Chain A
Amino acid sequence: MENRSMANQKPGKDNFTRNIVIAVVVGVVLIMLVPTLLSKQTNTSAKVPASVSADRGYGIVFNEELTGVPVIEIYEDFQCPVCAQFEKLQGDYIESLITAKKATVVYHTLSFLGPESVNAANAAACSADEGKFLGYHRALYANQPAENTGVWSNDVLGILGQAAGITSKSFTSCVNNMNYQGWVSNAAAAGAKANVNSTPTVFINGKEINRQTEYFSADKFKAAVERG
């Protein structure tokens, strides 16, 4: 009786079938892995939008030429709700630093929240070509939908350009053709190398500001910038 349950295993269940099955499972997984690893390589031939610096982790740079001013690096994902709060609170101040030439500002548009983040980052790169990145940046956050609900299709992102005063055909075709998809993944890889583990993440002169206090206080953020 003890062995009945084992003894009725079918004779067809031999090593051959089992080994074939194991080989297929492991093989399929390896075949999936290879293109994934390749896609994570930095593609140096990818098209780069205006004012992007590969040396600065493929970020979109303002006031690159200035010296002796603080360098503010912002890692963000256009779908991240906390990034929208950060933009709402600090966005005007950061833009004023850019226009007054009081800081070098680098925007790193990450895309880890999903495909619509990739769409939005690509569209933002297209807006940089039109010289309207800051306006479009603002428009994206002002119209941020819930994550990956299908709202940020390329059609919608193209129309959203109007909110930033972008009306050109080249912008909509750049958005629809995902011209900067390669750049978006390069920017993501650079963010991974910079050990950015949440968004928004802000570095001032290469050091992250205090997550507990300095992100969401206008005064403390300003103090952190001025401290440099």
Chain B
Amino acid sequence: MKRYLPWVGLICRLGLGGVLLAAGLLKYQHLDKSQMAVRAYEMLPISVANFLGIILPFVEIAVGVLLIIGAAVRISAFVSGALMIAFIIGISQAWARGLSIDCGCFGGGGQVEPGTANYLPELLRDGGLALMAIYLFRYPQSKFGLDRQRKDGEQING
């Protein structure tokens, strides 16, 4: 295990966890909008989209907090990686189908004026966050975390 890797892990944990916590809290302020954001992707049946719009902010908050304090890093990294991949799929299909929507990533959401949607930066950001999640899944050990580490540097807990 290289000595700097736990520091890289810490940066990933704080970066990914911070973004998820902020996104979750902003969505939590306006759950109606969060539901609207999920519906606007036009991927899911309305009732499922509405349910997901309520659940998603809570999942983001929980995973974000766990990553920041460094507990259950591997599971949290898996969940956040899955979320990012789902977001990338959602945004890509919206772009491909020519929908004009706000991604609703940090609150907001729903339809926007045609031509004002800007999907590329959103995809790049989510791609970067997905890479952080994949890194943490592969190397969950990091500085200042609660998860116990073995002396050889391998993670004991999932």
- Whether A18 lies near B30 (C-beta < 8 A) is no
Q: Does A100 contact B (CB under 8 A)?
A: no
- Whether A29 lies near B58 (C-beta < 8 A) is yes
Interface residues in B10-37 (C-beta closer than 8 Å to A): 29-33, 35-36
Q: Which of B118-126, B130-138, B147-155 contacts A (4 or more CB under 8 A)?
A: B147-155
Q: Given A3-B153, A25-B62, A26-B62, A110 and B46 touching (CB < 8 A)? A: no
Interface residues in B30-73 (C-beta closer than 8 Å to A): 30-33, 35-36, 39-40, 46-47, 50, 54-55, 58, 61-62, 65-66, 69, 71-72
> In the bound complex, what is the Cα–Cα distance between A6 and B147 (angstroms)?
12
Q: Does B1 contact A (CB under 8 A)?
A: yes
The listed residue (B114, B148, B151) touching A18 by CB distance below 8 A is B148
- Whether B151 lies near A112 (C-beta < 8 A) is no
- Whether B146 lies near A17 (C-beta < 8 A) is yes
Q: Does A198 contact B (CB under 8 A)?
A: yes
Give the residue name and chain of the B residue nearest to A3 (CB). B151
Q: Given A17-B146, A40-B54, A192 and B39 touching (CB < 8 A)? A: yes
B65 surroundings in chain A (CB, below 8 A): 25
Task: Indicate the member of A21, A37, A192 with the most B CB atoms within 10 Å.
Answer: A192
Q: Does B93 contact A (CB under 8 A)?
A: no
Give the residue name and chain of the A residue nearest to B147 (CB). A18
Q: Does B97 contact A (CB under 8 A)?
A: no
B101 surroundings in chain A (CB, below 8 A): 197
A37 surroundings in chain B (CB, below 8 A): 54
Give the residue name and chain of the B residue nearest to A13 (CB). B148
- Whether B31 lies near A36 (C-beta < 8 A) is yes
B3 surroundings in chain A (CB, below 8 A): 1-2, 4-5
- Whether B1 lies near A21 (C-beta < 8 A) is no
The listed residue (A7, A111, A193) touching B46 by CB distance below 8 A is A193
- Whether B50 lies near A193 (C-beta < 8 A) is yes
* Further contacts, 7 of them, CB under 8 A, given A18-B157, A25-B69: A6-B1, A6-B6, A29-B62, A114-B30, A197-B110, A197-B111, A198-B36
| Chain B residues proximal to chain A, CB less than 8 Å | 1, 3, 6, 29-33, 35-36, 39-40, 46-47, 50, 54-55, 58, 61-62, 65-66, 69, 71-72, 101, 110-112, 114, 141, 143, 146-153, 157
Q: List 5 A-B contacts (CB under 8 A).
A: A25-B71, A114-B29, A197-B101, A198-B40, A211-B111
